[in-house]
Structure 1
Amino acid sequence: MSTSPAPRMLDVTALKALGHPLRVQLLDLLASYGEQTASGLAARLGESSGSTSYHLRQLAKHGLVEEVEGHGSKRERWWRRPAGGFQVSMEAAEHNPAARILVHSVARQIEQRRAAALADFLDHGMEALPEEWLDSSVLNTINLQLDAQQLQDISVRTMEFLTKIADEYRGAGGADARPIQLHFNAFPLIDPAAGPTPDSER
């Protein structure tokens, strides 16, 4: 059983490297489909291989992607996401307005990619996937009333639990394995009708 390293918390410098939307797409494709070449990624995205190659090199400077050693050639290098993944933290921009905008932009791009993947599943899953894959999928929402500490407790325990389960299956896919994404969101709902919260008034 392989155990994933703890997620890397991105600092402002690394976040700046993700400021270009294409770089977020590249990271998403490498996470979903594994090792790829710049030309393979370009074909998926409808971009030139020169463009994807440039952006992969920029991501590599900040350790967000890495070249696969012993795979490929000088003309056709293979790239992958480092093990462990990363997290975007609002704490990195708590006292820096410019960095706060950057964090919001990167987090928004990541969430847009997630939403697009879910939309593709909803729009095309019935036609594209065998019945057993549809039966094995689930879209679930749980509504609770929590304070901030309780939400943090659920978030930490859920991620620990999911990571433990995912590590049991990492690298164990068979011949019919498909790329799979697991989305579990936990967040306080923002109700415009409720007015400002005490924290927002300070």
Structure 2
Amino acid sequence: MSDDHETAAPPPPRSPRRLDARSLRGLAHPLRMRVLELLRLDGPATGTALAARLGENTGTVSWHLRHLAEHGFIEEDTGRGTRRERWWRVVERANLVESADFRHDPDARGALTTFVYELVGQYFNRVTHYLGEEWEDEWRGAATVSDWSDLRLTPAQLAALNEELAAVIARHTRPAGTAADPGARPVIVQIQSFPRRGRDER
């Protein structure tokens, strides 16, 4: 069975965008965040295909797709599809969410809470999904689920650590338009670094 569409090259990445309250509210919905995650991880798709994967009504998913497009998170993939069905793809741009931007905005705080909890839930689900799958020994041996809890850092040191980790990931990120090495698979790297209150502070 073949799809009646032409494949177009993805657009070049755009400069990062710092989300404002309106954009955050446009994103912070459980189903919209799940739709965006699927498009980001697996590439362009139609509303019908996304609805089937999510177990949702096609009309509902299509409404959320249009909402994501309105806020600039996705765009129509005009190089694919037919007159009957639209394909959607993620806008290749980093979205930055700074919690301090919404500290004094009570209308945005609920959206920020939804966004953060849904995002952490996605991270958790990705790990548990991987653990429940069967993988060859070479992949099991290469993967890791680790944590380090004996660091004591200042805010500046923690920020520097995160910058260094991001730089390492950047060095291992394949440049756009280049072919992956033979045997390469998509890999997810999740980094969570945050302070915790000591026993005497709780």
TM-score of the aligned structures, taking structure 2 as reference length: 0.84
C-alpha distance in 2, partners of 1:51/1:39? Answer: 10
Deviation at 1:175, TM superposition (A): 7.5
List runs of 5+ in structure 2 lacking aligned partners.
1-10
Deviation at 1:162, TM superposition (A): 1.3
Count of aligned pairs: 191
Q: Which residue does 1:106 correspond to in 2?
A: 115
Tell me the alpha carbon deviations over residues 43-86 of structure 1, each in whole angstroms, 9 at most, x when there is no partner.
11001221111100100001001111221023211111111332
Q: Does residue 132 in structure 1 map to residue 138 in structure 2? A: yes
SS of equivalent to 2:24: helix
Match runs of 1:158-177 below 5 Å: 158-168=165-175, 172-173=179-180
Q: Which residue does 2:82 correspond to in 1?
A: 73
Tell me the alpha carbon deviations over residues 100-149 of structure 1, each in whole angstroms, 9 at most, x when there is no partner.
23212111101101101111112x13xx2222222221222223100111
Q: Does residue 194 in structure 1 map to residue 200 in structure 2? A: yes
**As a proportion of its length, which structure holds more helix?**
1
Alpha carbon RMSD of aligned pairs, Å?
A: 2.4
Deviation at 1:186, TM superposition (A): 1.2
Matching residue's letter, 1:100: R
Q: Does residue 88 in structure 1 map to residue 97 in structure 2? A: yes
Are the aligned partners of 2:46 and 2:86 in contact in 1 as well (CA < 8 Å)? yes
In structure 2, relative to structure 1, the CA distance for the partners of 1:21 and 1:94 (3 Å cut) is: same
SS of equivalent to 2:143: coil
TM-score of the aligned structures, taking structure 1 as reference length: 0.84
The farther-off stretch of 162-171 and 144-153 is 162-171
Identical-pair percentage: 31
C-alpha distance in 2, partners of 1:179/1:38? Answer: 23
SS of equivalent to 1:141: coil
C-alpha distance in 2, partners of 1:116/1:142? Answer: 21
Matching residue's letter, 1:42: A
SS of equivalent to 2:126: helix
Q: Which residue does 2:55 correspond to in 1?
A: 46
In structure 2, relative to structure 1, the CA distance for the partners of 1:154 and 1:170 (3 Å cut) is: farther
Matching residue's letter, 1:172: A
Matching residue's letter, 2:51: A
List runs of 5+ in structure 1 lacking aligned partners.
197-202
The farther-off stretch of 176-185 and 21-30 is 176-185
C-alpha distance in 1, partners of 2:178/2:43? Answer: 11
C-alpha distance in 1, partners of 2:61/2:103? Answer: 32
Of 43, 65, 73, the residue aligned with 1:56 is: 65
Deviation at 1:170, TM superposition (A): 7.4
